[in-house]
Amino acid sequence: MDIQLEKLELIKIIAETEDVSLIKSLKKLLKKEKKDWWEDLSDEQKADIEEGIADADAGRVVSYESVMSKYKYATKG
């Protein structure tokens, strides 16, 4: 399937229609497809992410290497 050809065919169909409800339905469907993943998160998840960003902005971070070295040695032996 050639996606560009499919898009052109849809554009042609949409351009030729006079059905306002069809246009509104298509518009609603396409907006729903572009929904931001952030909107699917719970308030708690959003708060946790925002807290993590604030910590990073304030310099309260730990390097990847530091974390990995800690757990690398903890799992040996």
Domain residue extents for the chain: 1-35, 37-77
Residue 52: what are its φ and ψ, rounded to 5°? -65, -40
Answer for the pair 24, 18: CB distance below 8 angstroms, yes or no. no
Check whether 12 has a pLDDT greater than 90. yes
Write down the H helix ranges in 1-77.
3-16, 20-33, 43-57, 64-75
Mean pLDDT of 45-74: 88
Predicted structure pTM score:
0.44
Confidence at residue 77, expressed as pLDDT on a 0 to 100 scale: 52
Confidence at residue 68, expressed as pLDDT on a 0 to 100 scale: 87
